[in-house]
Structure 1
Amino acid sequence: MLDFWYSARCTRQIKLMICITTCAVIYYASTFAKLDRIYIGISLAIGMLSHVLHTVALKLPKQNSYKEGFTRLNLFIPLIALITLIGVLPQQHKIALGVQYVGFSMLGLFIVSIYANRAKRFED
Structure 2
Amino acid sequence: MLLNLWYSDRCTRQIKLMICIATCAVIFYCTEIQKLPTVFAIISLALGIATHILYQYKQKLGQNNNYAQALQWLISIFPLVILAILIFMLPTINQLYTALQCIGFCALGLFLVSIYENRSPRHDSNG
- The residue that corresponds to 1:116 in the other structure is 117
- The residue that corresponds to 2:61 in the other structure is 60
- The residue that corresponds to 2:80 in the other structure is 79
The CA deviation string for residues 7-36 of structure 1, in whole angstroms up to 9 with x for no partner, is 001000000000000000011111110001
- Structure 1 runs, 4 residues or longer, greater than 4 Å off: none
Identity, in percent, stands at 46
CA distance in 1, matches of 2:29, 2:119: 29
- The residue that corresponds to 2:89 in the other structure is 88
Aligned residues: 123
CA distance in 2, matches of 1:79, 1:100: 15
The CA deviation string for residues 48-102 of structure 1, in whole angstroms up to 9 with x for no partner, is 0000010111111221110001101111111100000100001110000000000
TM-score of the superposed pair, with normalisation by structure 2: 0.94
- The residue that corresponds to 2:13 in the other structure is 12
CA distance in 1, matches of 2:117, 2:89: 32
TM-score of the superposed pair, with normalisation by structure 1: 0.96
CA apart distance, 1:122: 4.5
CA distance in 1, matches of 2:86, 2:3: 22
* Aligned amino acid, residue 67 of structure 1: A
CA distance in 2, matches of 1:110, 1:10: 12
* Aligned amino acid, residue 55 of structure 2: H
CA distance in 2, matches of 1:69, 1:97: 31
* Aligned amino acid, residue 118 of structure 1: R
RMSD over aligned CA atoms reads: 1.0
SS at match of 2:33: coil
- For structure 1, the residue ranges without an aligned partner over 5 or more in a row are none
CA distance in 1, matches of 2:103, 2:40: 10
